[in-house]
Structure 1
Amino acid sequence: MTIDFDKVVDRSNTSSLKWDRFNPDVIPLWVADMDFQSAPGIIEALHQRIDHGVFGYTEPDNELEQRVVERCRNLYQWAIQPDWIVWMPGLVSALNVCVRAYADEGESVISPVPVYYPFLTAPALGGRQLKTVDWVQQDGQWVLDLASLEKKITHDSRLLMLCNPQNPNGRVFSRAELETLEQFCKKHNLTVCSDEVHCDLILDRNVKHIPYASISEFARTHSVTLMSPSKTFNLAGFGCAFAIIPDGKLRHKFNRVRKGIVPDPDNMLIGFTATKAAYRHGEPWRQALLEYLRGNHDFLVKAINDIPGLAMEPLQATYLAWIDVSALGLEDPHSFFEQAGVGLSPGKQFGDGNYLRLNFGCCRSLLEEAVERMAKAIKQF
């Protein structure tokens, strides 16, 4: 499929969270929202549904759920059942539901750090305690420091939250790593909430996404897997995500906690329409997107590492670069680059102020301009 990802789409006057955050002179490369138009098949399906003109309460139909089942089987060799699927308006609400469903007030929840910031805020919002496990560098690769976690885990630790592929460092867990995690969870009787929203965005051709729940019977019956088409197909403005919960008791707890707080899925008509079209027609577009993102990634790795004071490790997945700015010695690196005309996400938000996160899900010309501004600002610093 030939898609012009170099096309510049004007997002002004669209109430865009991404583009309205900064003044118009700043290139926004922060929130995980790509600047590309979605797949043509999705846009066409949305037009058809809008033309119908009646937008009442809507349920997920059999085809939609079968599309999810087939996708898990075809892409990840994971056999799931339709009744394991719980539809949600978004993954952040699902994270918070998991915290409240699987740990009682005052009990502890474990999260890797750095990580997508709702992982860090969900425990306190639910009156639970947060314990962290650090990502550390080992042989040039980010790995979880489970040895350190072993020393601080307590008898009231109930839930381990994973982010795989990891946001923001782009790691994809290997089968061996997942098996080690599974043994750790079995030892401490932990339920796992695995956010796998970036699973369709694997950049490194030598790695493969493996759902945590697929590796063993224990993992299957002690886990919740969170997925969505939102990042893959640039549908973040539509509320549509799903939790896959194989175990009936865990599914009951999840649904009991969400009841009356998280909206029922019957108001997700547009999200269902977009998701079905994405999973029916979107694969050629996704493959073209991956090729473009790989090109952006390769450009960015070289360009960032050519700038004195900046460092970036190659990513295995996502379109979110994790850039080490510690060598610059800046008190507020986020503000420094914003003043230079580039809006990034502060690493402190994810748990490490030595980094900035950069979204390279944009046209190459915009990315090149942003890098030039960053290099110029450092040179003049």
Structure 2
Amino acid sequence: MNTFDFSTSPDRSGSDSIKWRRYAGRDIIPMWVADMDFAAPPAVLDALRARIDHGVFGYADPWPSVLDAVVEGIARDHAWRIQPDWLVWLPGVVTGFNVAVRAVGQPGDGVFTATPVYPPFLHAPANFGQRLVTAPLLQKGSRWEWDWPATEAALADGVRLFMLCNPHNPVGRVFSRDELGRIAELAERHDLIVCSDEIHCGLVLDPATPHIPIAALDESVARRTVTLMAPSKTWNIPALYCAFAIVPDAGLRARYKRAMAGIVPHVNVLGLTATEVAYRDCGPWREALLDTLRANAARVVETIDALPGLTTTPVEATYLAWIDCRGLIAERSIANPAAFFETAGVGLSDGKDFGLPGFVRLNFGCPPARLEEALKRIRHAVIS
């Protein structure tokens, strides 16, 4: 049985990492941008070395074994049997949902998403002269849920595209079959296209809440859905820039490809090489990673919820914790919680960038000892 070491990580300080360079020369643990500090799976590294040793990097399209690996991987992990010709290859998921905005709407049309949400969602509509339309997710006890009346009202505001994030960044939800079914019903009733960012689908921590692609619900919703996936988060290879859209409907797929024409580059050959091996051979590495992330998530919740002025919610998926600092802000008259914790030696993402000031996002995709040091600094800052 393979064993993998997630107790250590390569030294990223002084490297090309934007995550670590932000705090170069300062005693601040970077826990903001969503890449993990773990090395990529050994099988991926071996495949990349072999491809580099070949020595020629000419133009390439996805080859049959890449397609097979993705198709079989999605069927195995998410119980969704897709067809190879549904795949549209992209250099990244952010590119993918910007293409969806361009393909579906016209200037002035509405693009809906629920907040808080991954910041590029909030900026994509304006890139094409369209309007951002939002409704808030609501925290009910230890769970973030949809505000269905607010969502319904927002969709009446000239919306053409429903942008879904599932598993959700930053609140860590894995939306249930019932929730996805309700979104599908709204899309049908309002004649919307759904663009579903499912990049964190391989990082479900709670086995009781498996990821369900919304397009897998039935053929009706599949015909109006663009599903975006990538190996980048699960196997920590984001800078290899390989992603794909899954578009079952031929007409929607043609519109999507037309919106890409002339502006979206081909995926690079090393990204394709890594994608094939990740989906085909790296399941055991992923399971070992999930064990570490589950333990890290539990430590974050245990620590944060014991501190005055801070709360968080259980993380069903991702390696990201969404922390409510509003109590601390009120108690300590703190203007900016992200800046407050940065001064304490921990670099977190500011909730205002996600559309919800007063929160911070913590990336716990790191060795447990590093997480413990960060939590120690947070604890000291709050109780000192």
TM-score by structure 1 length?
0.97
5+ long unaligned stretches in structure 1: none
Which residue number in structure 2 is paired with residue 286 of structure 1? 286
Does the CA-based 8 Å contact 2:171-2:315 persist in structure 1? yes
Instruction: Give yes or no for the alignment of 1:354 onto 2:358.
Output: yes
Check 1:348–1:155 CA distance in 2 against 1; reply closer, same or farther (3 A cut): closer
Q: What is the rounded CA distance, in whole Å, between the counterparts of 2:365 and 2:225 in structure 1?
A: 30
What do residues 158-198 of structure 1 show as CA deviations (whole Å, max 9, x unaligned)? 10000000000000111111111111111100110000000
Q: Is 2:10 the partner of 1:4?
A: no
CA distance in 1, matches of 2:163, 2:15: 34
Aligned positions, number = 378
Conserved? CA contact 2:14–2:20, under 8 Å: no
Distance 1:155 1:325 in 2: 32
Deviates more, 1:2-11 or 1:339-348: 2-11
| CA-based RMSD | 1.1
* Map of 2:379 onto structure 1: 375
Q: Which of the residues 71, 75, 91 maps onto 1:89?
A: 91
Cα deviation, 1:14-45, whole Å, max 9, x if unaligned, reads: 21111001133110000110000111100000
Structure-1 residue corresponding to 2:300: 300
Task: Give 1:56's match in structure 2, choosing from 55, 58, 62.
Answer: 58
Q: How does 1:159-198 map to 2 (within 5 A)?
A: 159-198=161-200
CA distance in 1, matches of 2:288, 2:92: 26
Percent sequence identity is 49
**Where does 1:49-128 land on structure 2 (aligned, <5 Å)?**
49-128=51-130
Q: Secondary structure at the match of 1:243?
A: strand
Q: 1:155 offset after TM fit, Å?
A: 6.0
Residue 232 of structure 1: SS of its match in structure 2?
Answer: coil
Partner residue, 1:20: 21
> In the aligned structure 2, how far is the partner of 1:378 from the partner of 1:30?
19
Q: Distance in 1 between matches of 2:49 and 2:152?
A: 53
Q: Distance in 1 between matches of 2:155 and 2:174?
A: 24
After superposition, give the CA deviation of every residue in 1:178-234 in whole Å (9 maximum; x if it has no partner).
Answer: 111111111100110000000010111211110000101211100000000000000
Could you list the runs of 4 or more consecutive aligned residues of structure 1 that deviate by over 4 angstroms after TM superposition?
none
How far, CA to CA, are the matches of 1:195 and 1:167 in structure 2?
Answer: 10
Q: What are the superposed Cα offsets for residues 312-355 of structure 1, whole Å, 9 maximum, x if unpaired?
A: 11111000000110001121111111111100000000011121
* 132-141 or 89-98, larger mean C-alpha shift: 132-141
Shift of 1:151: 2.2
| Cα deviations by residue, 1:45-100 (Å, 9 ceiling, x for unpaired) | 01101111111111100110111111121111111110000000001111111011
| Alignment-mate amino acid for residue 284 of structure 2 | P
Where structure 2 has 5 or more consecutive residues not aligned to the other structure, the ranges are: none
Measure the CA separation in 1 of the matches of 2:163 and 2:258.
20
Q: How does 1:144-293 map to 2 (within 5 A)?
A: 144-154=146-156, 156-265=158-267, 268-293=268-293
Q: Distance in 2 between matches of 1:264 and 1:319?
A: 29
State how far apart, in whole Å, the 1-side matches of 2:252 and 2:184 are: 17
State the distance in 2 between where 1:49 and 1:81 align.
Answer: 27
Deviates more, 1:255-264 or 1:148-157: 148-157
In structure 2, what is the Cα distance between the partners aligned to 1:200 and 1:114?
21
SS of the equivalent of 1:137 reads strand
Matched position secondary structure for 1:95: helix
Which amino acid in structure 1 is aligned with residue 292 of structure 2?
Y
Say which SS state the counterpart of residue 60 (structure 2) adopts: coil
CA shift, 1:13, in A, is 3.0
CA distance in 2, matches of 1:377, 1:260: 51
TM-score, scaled to structure 2: 0.96
Q: Secondary structure at the match of 1:242?
A: strand
Point out the more displaced range, 7-16 or 64-73.
7-16
